[in-house]
């Protein structure tokens, strides 16, 4: 080989080494970028972990806060509000009853016919939007529109014989309840701003509008979503003692002994019990696995330092937590490509879209790719990165579902239905041994009903916390449209009944 040939060979070898060095360098940098985002995920997963030991600490904390909220006003983050519902449906109700549900920009009209023996003979429902201008008008204009809509609904259903009929009213806004059929509006939410109605009795406003429209009906029960769900659950099953709603927001209620409501000493009810509206979205405990993403979300929210539990478990917030984790990863590495401005926008990723990514069962996760591209403007994401996104969704969802499960068991612990209170509460005497009581928790809300993985995680966690000996005695039962049908049933169960609720 001549000098020229040797020179070429050496040059080629040097070039090959340079190319190899560049390629190795790229691989190293790529691996470093990848391990940076993996570290972000690992740190988040560890901070958000919910081992059963921690969940049992949350259970205990929930029960303690419930006791404190019943002992004194302001004694707990849990408001533990009286609902004045002490007579729940038992399935013997007969007749035709109506309900209104005002919960946001739409409202619902319902008509049910009950036939006794825990039977619903017919069920009609109609949804109507509330015109935008009425959301900021006057109380008279809003309720006149609702009363007229009810009148037309009754006429369309071919039942003009409504004289004296009882009506259930679900009003999903902050209300200070003063009796079963009265309560004053504390403040508007969800885009409503009718100033002349704040601190007014919402039932009185509705009742006057019904009179103006010639509708002879009596509002027999004012309730919220969770109380309606409990009523429907109890109609079908007398062992239903609590209800939980997990949707865009979340709340829970349960049946308490009247003598346990210490802050209302001398509380007397016909049944000896009282349904308590917990407002559990505001629950807080140092045992909750709070991450830096939760802290930032709370600080940027419209209600910082408020509704802490809700911000960790409800549909309003889960998608945004996922967005925040992806945003953090995009700042640490370029695996998502150029940083999308949409990643900085609050609530850009909704929980339904998050759930769709989490439940994507296509081989190449095409739904994940589509949502990242169309919603967050993140394009051409490799499959391994899509799998990473699914894992983020899983961590957020698993934590939310397991914390909700701990909240449910906390309620059961408070009323002695979790198996830890012995024969006096959770068990009934049967010879020498104690036999566990059967317990049912009614559950409603789009997050639980529509999100299969969330539902499975929650159900598994309830069983895990209770243990294999107690879990078979506790059932979670779905009650679809409990907020509406339940209100009509409470009108039925309190129709012509001399229910006595006194606070001495």
Query: For residue 469, how many other CB atoms are within 10 A of its CB?
Result: 9
User: φ and ψ at 188, to 5 degrees?
Assistant: -85, 150
- What is the DSSP pairing of strand 120-129 with strand 106-115? antiparallel
The residues pairing with 273 across neighbouring beta strands, listed in sequence order, are 257
Integer angstrom CA distances of residue 173 from 129, 137, 240, 359: 17, 17, 25, 33
Out of 76, 86, 108, 294, the active site residue is 108
Integer angstrom CA distances of residue 35 from 32, 249, 333, 346: 5, 36, 9, 27
- Report how far residue 1's alpha carbon sits from residue 476's, in angstroms, rounded to the nearest whole number: 85
- Report how far residue 123's alpha carbon sits from residue 105's, in angstroms, rounded to the nearest whole number: 23
Stated length of the chain: 504
Out of 56, 111, 139, 172, the active site residue is 172
Residue whose C-alpha is closest to residue 117's, from 95, 96, 94, 91 = 91
60 is catalytic: no
- What is the DSSP pairing of strand 217-223 with strand 165-171? parallel
Using DSSP's 3-state secondary structure scheme, residue 403 falls into: helix
- One DSSP character per residue, 277-319 reads E--GGG---TTS---HHHHHHHHHSSSTTS-TTHHHHSTTTHH
- Report how far residue 390's alpha carbon sits from residue 386's, in angstroms, rounded to the nearest whole number: 6
CA 13 to chain centre: 66
Contact (Cβ atoms closer than 8 angstroms) between residue 138 and residue 69? no
Out of 225, 298, 320, 360, the active site residue is 225
- Report how far residue 292's alpha carbon sits from residue 296's, in angstroms, rounded to the nearest whole number: 6
Angle between helical axes of 452-466 and 52-71 (0-180°, round to 10): 80
- Strand order across the beta sheet in which 120-129 lies: 120-129, 106-115, 94-102, 165-171, 217-223
Tokens encoding 177:
């309840």
Query: For residue 434, how many other CB atoms are within 10 A of its CB?
Result: 15
Strands (E), 162-291: 165-171, 175-179, 182-185, 217-223, 240-246, 250-257, 267-269, 273-277
User: φ and ψ at 241, to 5 degrees?
Assistant: -120, -10
172 is catalytic: yes
Using DSSP's 3-state secondary structure scheme, residue 74 falls into: coil
Residue whose C-alpha is closest to residue 443's, from 424, 459, 427 = 459
108 is catalytic: yes
List residues with catalytic annotation: 108, 172, 225
């Amino acid at each position: 080989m001549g000098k020229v040939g040797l020179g070429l060979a050496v040059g080629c070898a040097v070039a090959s080494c340079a190319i190899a060095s560049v390629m190795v360098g790229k691989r190293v940098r790529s691996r470093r970028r990848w391990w940076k985002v993996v570290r972000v995920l690992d740190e988040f997963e560890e901070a958000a972990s919910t081992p059963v030991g921690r969940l049992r600490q949350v259970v205990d904390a929930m029960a303690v806060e419930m006791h404190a909220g019943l002992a004194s006003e302001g004694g707990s983050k849990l408001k533990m509000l009286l609902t004045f519902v002490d007579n729940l449906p038992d399935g013997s109700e007969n007749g035709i009853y109506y309900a209104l549900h005002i919960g946001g920009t739409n409202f619902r009209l319902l008509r049910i016919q009950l036939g006794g023996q825990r039977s619903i003979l017919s069920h009609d429902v109609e949804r109507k939007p509330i015109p935008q201008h009425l959301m900021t008008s006057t109380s008279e204009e809003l309720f006149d529109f609702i009363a007229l809509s009810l009148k037309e609904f009754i006429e369309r259903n071919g039942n003009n014989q409504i004289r004296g009929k009882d009506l259930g009213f679900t009003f999903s806004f902050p209300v200070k309840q003063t009796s079963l059929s009265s309560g004053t509006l504390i403040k508007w939410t969800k885009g409503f701003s009718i100033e002349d109605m704040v601190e007014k009795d919402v039932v009185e406003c509705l009742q006057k509008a019904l009179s103006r429209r010639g509708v002879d009906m009596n509002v027999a029960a004012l309730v919220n979503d969770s109380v309606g769900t409990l009523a429907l659950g109890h109609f079908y099953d007398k062992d239903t003692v609590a209800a939980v709603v997990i949707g865009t927001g979340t709340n829970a209620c349960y049946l308490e002994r009247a003598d346990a409501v210490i802050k209302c000493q001398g509380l007397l009810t016909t049944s000896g019990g009282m349904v308590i509206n917990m407002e559990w979205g505001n629950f807080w405990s140092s045992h909750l696995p709070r991450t830096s993403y939760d802290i930032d979300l709370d600080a940027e929210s419209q209600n910082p330092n408020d509704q802490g539990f809700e911000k960790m478990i409800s549909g309003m917030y889960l998608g945004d937590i996922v967005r925040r984790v992806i945003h953090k990863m995009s700042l640490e590495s370029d695996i998502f490509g150029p940083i999308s401005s949409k990643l900085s926008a609050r609530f850009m990723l909704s929980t339904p879209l998050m759930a769709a990514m989490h439940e994507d069962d296509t081989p190449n996760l095409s739904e994940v790719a589509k949502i990242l591209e169309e919603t967050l403007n993140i394009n051409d994401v490799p499959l391994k990165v899509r799998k990473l996104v699914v894992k983020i969704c899983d961590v957020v969802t698993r934590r939310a579902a397991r914390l909700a499960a701990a909240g449910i068991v906390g309620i059961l612990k408070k009323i002695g239905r979790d198996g830890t209170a012995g024969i006096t509460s959770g068990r009934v005497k049967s010879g020498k041994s104690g036999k566990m009581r059967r317990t049912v928790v009614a559950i409603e809300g789009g997050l639980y009903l529509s999100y299969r993985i969330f539902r499975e995680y929650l159900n598994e966690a309830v069983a895990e916390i209770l243990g294999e000996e107690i879990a078979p005695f506790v059932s979670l039962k779905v009650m679809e449209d409990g907020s509406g049908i339940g209100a009509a049933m409470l009108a039925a169960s309190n129709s012509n009944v001399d229910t006595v609720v006194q606070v001495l």
